[in-house]
Structure formats: C-alpha cells, structure tokens
Amino acid sequence: MTAGAVAATYAPSSWMVHAAGSDLMKVAVIGAGGRGSGAAVDCINAGGNVKIVAVADAFENKAKGAADRINKAGKEKADIKPDNIFWGLDAYQKAINAGVDMVIIAGPPGFRPQHYEAAIKAGKHVMMEKPVCVCAGGFRKVMATNKLADEKGLKVVVGLQRHHQASYQEGINDIAEGKYGDVTLLRVYWNGGGIWNRSREEGMTEMQYQVNNWYHFAWLSGDNIAEQHIHNIDIGNWVVSAILKKEGADWAHPVEANGMGACTTRGYDGKKTQGQIFDAHFVEFTYENGLKMFSQCRHQPNTFSNVNEYFHAVKEPKGRPVSARGQIKLQHGNPYVQEHYILQQAIVNGTKHNEGWYGAISSMTATLGRMATYSGKVIKWDDLVTKGQDMFPPDINWNTRPPVVPDANGFYPIPVPGKYDPFTAKA
C-alpha cells in the first residue's frame, strides 16, 4: 500500500460505540516517563471518548507523579484514582487488569515484548512506543503477538509517528509512483550531541539502577541506533516497502548489514556512568532488491548534527529529503496525536489495523545494524532472526543479576568489534 492509499484509508468518521459495547474507552498507561505521560495527553487530544484511568511504572515516585500530571492535564478525560496507581516490575499486569479497554505501552524498550504480549493476551487494544524490541528474542515474541492480535481483531499503533505525518505520506507516495524514477540510494541520519544520564541513587540494587538509567544499557534500550535512529531507519524500510508493495509480516527489511561504531566520549569524566552503549554507529544496509541504505547516528558534542532521511533517484541523483510538502490533509497536524486518532477510529469502526508488523521489523532492522557495528562483521537478517539470543532475563525482579554488570572499577563492558559475538552478546 502506498502512502497515498494509507492516507485515503483514514477518512474522518464520527466517534462510535467501540467493540466492548460502551461509548467510553478506558485507558491504562504503562511507563510513567515523559513519553508515557505525553502519549496519554496525545490520546486525550485525539478527540475520542476516552478516559485515562490507570498508570503503572517500575518506580513508585514516577507512577504517582505521572498520575498527577495526567489527571491535571486530562481534566474530565483523566481520572486515575490512588487504587489504580501501580508500581514495581509486575505493575504492568495490574494496570492491564484494571478494567481497561486499551493500553499505552511506554516503559523501557526491553520490556515491551513482554508488556505487549500480556496486553494482547488480555484482549486489549494497544498503542506501543518504539522500538518495540531490542533483540532477536524480543522480535520473535512481538511477531508472534502481532499474529495473535490479528486473530483477536485487536488494533495496534506503534509510535513511529512519521507514518501519520502528511509530508512523509506524500513524499513516499511520490517515490512509489515513480515520480523521480528508480531509487538508487537511501541515506538516513540521527546525529546529535547527547542524551540524559541518571546517577545511581543510594540503596539501589544493580537492576534498579539499570532500569532507571535504561538508555545506557543495550538490553533495555537497544542503543541509540534503536531508541532514536529507528525513526529514520523505518523511513528507509517504508520507502522500499512502498516500491515493492509489501505490507504486514512481509514489510521490507535489509537482508544484511555491515558497519562500524565505537564508544569514544561516554564515561570518561571519572563518574563511572558510561553504561555500555556506543556513541556512534555507521551501517550499510542492503535490501533484497540490491538497494543500499547508509545509516548514521551518534551522540557526540560539537559534531555534524542532522536528523533526516534522503533518497537518490534517476531524476534526483544529488538526493532530496523523503518528506514533501503538498496536498495531503490529515485530521491532526500533530502526528503524535494523529496516530492516536487512527487507533481510536480503527477500534470504534472495527477496521483492521496493526502497526506492530512494521514496528517489529524496523526495530529488528536497528538490532541488525547494532549487531553489525558491535561485532564488526557482516550480519545476515535470517541468521540473526533465527539464531539471535533473547537478552531479557527470565523471572526478572529487583535482585536479578542484569545481563551486564560493572567490573571491579565500576565500569561496564563495552562491545569490542572483532571480539563481540552477535549471537551470544559476549565479547
């Protein structure tokens, strides 16, 4: 389906009685950080008859703080009572069981395959932030859950909001319709100066520290190539999918990747807070049709910064941005709100809608790139999907030993190309 066809599918319609038989849709938020709270407000602003009634987070102060923010921002569309504020590593299940119809999943990415599976098994519609997985095991779980969601008729939206932005819908539609001739190369970037880093608090277990400072651990964030750069990588997959007319579980993805990366600026301040992720990745992805996508992302101050996607084509050999400005008009100009509008409309109209497929495939594409940069080897998609490990610990609790731990000096092991095994995640 091209971008133009996607836009045409989303014609406005009145708010109708949803499948549960009530004209009010109750919503739970899992993950009480900035994105979870923001997604709750976006859900409210989408215009449907919704009410946020529950919130869950791993940490008590964050769960309570988010409930207060959402209640104040939502006014009559939020009513999170004290009994529906949950915290702890099992809080997500309590929120799912709190009499809700829909769940917003916005906890650390490493947890999302488990949270998604639990929500779909419980019969809930889902809005899930990206990336939806950070390892091959998580990808396999999400793909199986996508199938279950379709079988149950449940609706799923993923926070790759560019899919709900008119400029991208139009730009990709033009590319797919051949306006510029054959595409010869894709370039995608998320280069910036840095990211937050949370200090260890007194009394924290190692697991509590890592979950709180999740961005800096690959088993929780997937590194910056997954947590942020996935937006741009996903655009590349979308372009190729539109050209090849692929959808669902067949959404286009690279067949192999090779790349390079390193950690050169994190944690050299003597504070032992560097975590274990890279600060720069460069990946050459190759698709089944031979098309190449060059991918850059980094967190390095005072360097070339760019967040964008470009394509080169026969009629555009010098390249141009994928996004375009033109005639497509959507119900909400804010794509973060538009994605919630689409989810709400799909629920009340009973139309099939599952973005979990391309969410999983683009998340796994980022994982493919990370394993290429960590290992310094050419990694095949099929090999990693079938033989890659599940990085998420079984039976996780606050005293569980995380997949990575600091050495005697307090520093974490950083992957070394040439030594790192992409299938076991061991140097």
What are the sequence ranges of the domains in the chain? 3-162+330-357, 181-325+362-387
At 19 the pLDDT is 45
Which class would CATH give 181-325+362-387? alpha beta
Distance of alpha carbon 229 from alpha carbon 308, whole angstroms: 10
**CATH for the 3-162+330-357 domain, from 3.40.50.720, 3.65.10.10, 1.20.990.10, 2.90.10.10:** 3.40.50.720
Task: Give backbone dihedrals phi and psi of 296, rounded to 5 degrees, phi first.
Answer: -125, 135
Dihedrals phi, psi of 299, to nearest 5 degrees: -120, 85
To the question of pTM greater than 0.85 for the whole model, the response is yes
Helical (H) or strand (E) element with 334: none
Q: Is it the case that residue 16 has pLDDT exceeding 90?
A: no
Per-residue pLDDT, averaged over 332-340, amounts to 97
H or E stretch at 105? strand 102-105
With cut-offs at 50, 70 and 90, classify the pLDDT of residue 327: confident
In angstroms, the Cα distances linking 375 to 185, 257, 274, 368, 422 are 25, 11, 20, 11, 6
pLDDT confidence band for 264 (50 / 70 / 90)? confident
Task: Kindly tell me the burial class for residue 36, based on how many C-beta atoms sit within 10 Å of its own C-beta (0-12, 13-18, 19 or more).
Answer: buried
Rounded mean pLDDT, 269-287: 83
CA gap 61, 212 in Å, rounded: 12
- Other Cβ atoms less than 10 A from the Cβ of 118: the count is 19
| Rama region for 260: left / alpha / beta (φ>0; ψ in -120 to 50; rest) | beta
